[in-house]
Amino acid sequence: EAMTERAELLLAGALQTVIDSSLARAEEINGHELERLRSLAEINPHIRPSEIEYFEQSAEEIKTYLKGTSLRLDGVRVALST
């Protein structure tokens, strides 16, 4: 059990790095797409405000899920050699 606790401690920092990177990437992609959609809505009346709201809501949900990510060690394989 001590080995799994040590592994969790070692991976916790790496996990936060991955989460931060994923959040930044999601923000970049979603921000870019939302900006494009808003610009398009200014010249195209077929872009409904509900479409923009849906995209904004989806982007927020993505951030919420990423922030709630946690490390989970589902299986540990131990090899013994004699």
Give me the tens of pLDDT residue by residue for the chain, a chain 82 residues long.
Answer: 677 788 788 888 888 899 999 999 999 999 999 999 999 999 999 999 999 999 999 999 999 999 998 877 666 666 656 6
Task: Report the C-alpha gap between 45 and 14 in whole angstroms.
Answer: 45
* CA gap 30, 50 in Å, rounded: 16
Amino acid at 33: E
pLDDT of residue 34: 95
Q: What pLDDT is stored for residue 8 in this prediction?
A: 80
Tokens of 67: 């922030």
* CB-based contact 51:40 (threshold 8 Å): no
Question: Strand ranges (DSSP E) for the chain?
Answer: none
